[in-house]
Amino acid sequence: MKQQRMLIHGVILGVFCLGFALILAVTDRFTVKDIAARALEDRLNSLSQVIPDSIHNNNLVADAIAMKDGQGNEITVYRATREGKVTGLAYEIFGSGYAGKMKLMLGVDAEGKVLGVRVLAHKETPGLGDKIETKKGDWILRFNDLSLGNPPVEKWKVKKDGGQFDQFAGATITPRGVVRAIREGLEFFAANKAQMMDLAAPKAPMKEAH
Amino acid sequence: MTTQYKTIVKDGLWDNNGVLAMLLGMCPAMAMTTSATNGLGMGLATAAVMAASSLLVSTFRSRITQEVRIPVYILIVAAMVTLVDLCMNAWMHELYKVLGLFIPLIVSNCLPLARLEAFAAKEPVLPSLMDGMFMGLGFTVALTIIGAVREITGAGTLFADASLLLGPAFKFMEMQLMSPDKGVLMMILPPGGFLVTGLLVVVKRMIDVRAGKAIQMGGAHSAA
């Protein structure tokens, strides 16, 4: 008898699981296309902030390639082209901040000059480290038009470390991480320029952006 | 409205308020209340999940046996949360960008589970739906007040970004009360959440004592 009752409980739980799995599967079916479209919109939106529309006439996401960055992260390199030539690149760079990893999007032109940098995700202290967001300040805009030679590599540091970039009052680690991430991002471009500019390179598979 | 429904409404919003009386759902109450808008959004999402799961549990209450009730409740809450998560991501994307990270947190909130166990498992469908809804709204009110206090003292604003949550028509709610540099940073950080929640619990009890009510001690007891 006892075993039979246990079976009944199992069946009840199983039926509920099956029922809700079905409901979720149907919901997923209905929302999956819209969710992918929203993710793509977000991606194009953040890309358009680091690659000006005026320098390309292609779909940045369609001409992307997959690469491994200096730290071994799989990254997608989005490429801007105009008249069959690569005019700009955008890719994610990572820095370590005060409270973990920071994710940024770096845009460079064909000569390795910064077109723009934006913070995509971070966990820095509100009111101190979050001035790296464009919403909270224009600090991040000072990197526009700079490159590895301008200023010289040894000046790609915050002022406290003998470089040329301002830190924030009360927060040095965050800007230090950002400056370093951008420097490494530019070095990555310098080291892999040939592959990144090669339009014949295999395209990255279109995948859902996160 | 019959007395039973009156009690349910009063319980949810004040007497047995999830945060201020029962001290349940502390995780989102601390993590999501850095601004009044965040508190409001999190509260409304929780209220929707609570109403839906109370309705379901009450509907199936005779089929759910005592032995498997807890896994079934968790299953129902988790399924509702996933449903809200998917729909919001697809059709309310701006709002999702503000709240998205915190929607899954509703599963770990013990307030829905407590209400299912204490109320929806025993009561008919309509009162259960009301209970879920008003417990959720009480939660929303508490989170919005905590968020408002923290936002005003910490950042000097009130209902910042409310138009993202409620639509452009609500732009008028966004207020800048003082310069952000004057804000006390700690109020936005986790300690501020504990301080404000604690003070609000005290305020609620003082009002209850003034009104001559017996203080209900914390716990998931249902007054129904």
User: Which chain A residues touch B79 with a CB distance below 8 Å?
Assistant: 20, 23-24
CB-nearest to A27 from B60, B76, B83 is: B83
Question: Under an 8 A CB cutoff, do B64 and A35 touch?
Answer: no
pLDDT confidence of residue A209: 44
Residue A149 Cα, gap to closest chain B Cα (Å): 37
Q: Does the model's ipTM exceed the 0.95 cut?
A: no
Better-scored residue on pLDDT, A207 or A53:
A53
Rg of chain B in Å (alpha carbons): 18
Q: Which chain A positions have a beta carbon within 8 Å of B91's beta carbon?
A: 31, 34
Burial class from Cβ neighbours inside 10 Å (0-12, 13-18, 19+) for residue B92 reads: middle
Q: Which domain holds residue B191?
A: 2-223
**Which residues of chain A are within 8 Å of residue B33 when distances are taken between CB atoms?**
none
pLDDT band with cut points at 50, 70 and 90 for residue A210: very low
DSSP A202: P
Our count of domains for chain B comes to 1
pLDDT in tens, A91-145: 999 999 998 899 999 999 988 899 999 998 888 887 788 889 888 888 999 999 9
- What pLDDT score does A202 carry? 67
pLDDT score at A71: 79
pLDDT band at residue A46, thresholds of 50, 70 and 90?
Answer: confident
Chain B CA closest to residue A14: B72
Scan for tokens 């349910």, then name that residue. Answer: B8
| Number of cross-chain residue pairs from A and B with Cβ atoms under 8 Å apart | 62
Q: A20: part of which helix (H) or strand (E)? A: helix A2-50
- Residue A105 is predicted with a pLDDT of 93
CB of B83 less than 8 A from some CB of A: yes
Q: What is the pLDDT of residues B146-200, one digit of tens each?
A: 999 999 998 888 888 787 777 777 888 888 888 767 778 888 888 999 999 999 9
Tell me the residue length of chain B: 224
Q: Identify whether the C-beta of residue A178 lies closer than 8 Å to the C-beta of residue A140.
A: yes
Residues of chain B with C-beta less than 8 angstroms from the C-beta of A127: 154-155, 180, 183, 185, 188
Cβ pair B94, A38 in contact under 8 A: no
Q: What percent of chain A has pLDDT over 70?
A: 94
In contact, A202 and A65? CB cutoff 8 Å: yes
Residue A99 touches chain B, beta carbons under 8 Å: no
Percent of chain B with pLDDT over 90: 41
Contacts of B76 in chain A (CB under 8 A): 16, 20
Dump pLDDT digits (tens) for A82-99. 888 889 999 999 999 998
CA B187 vs CA A113, B98, B150, B182, B190: distances in Å = 41, 20, 5, 12, 7
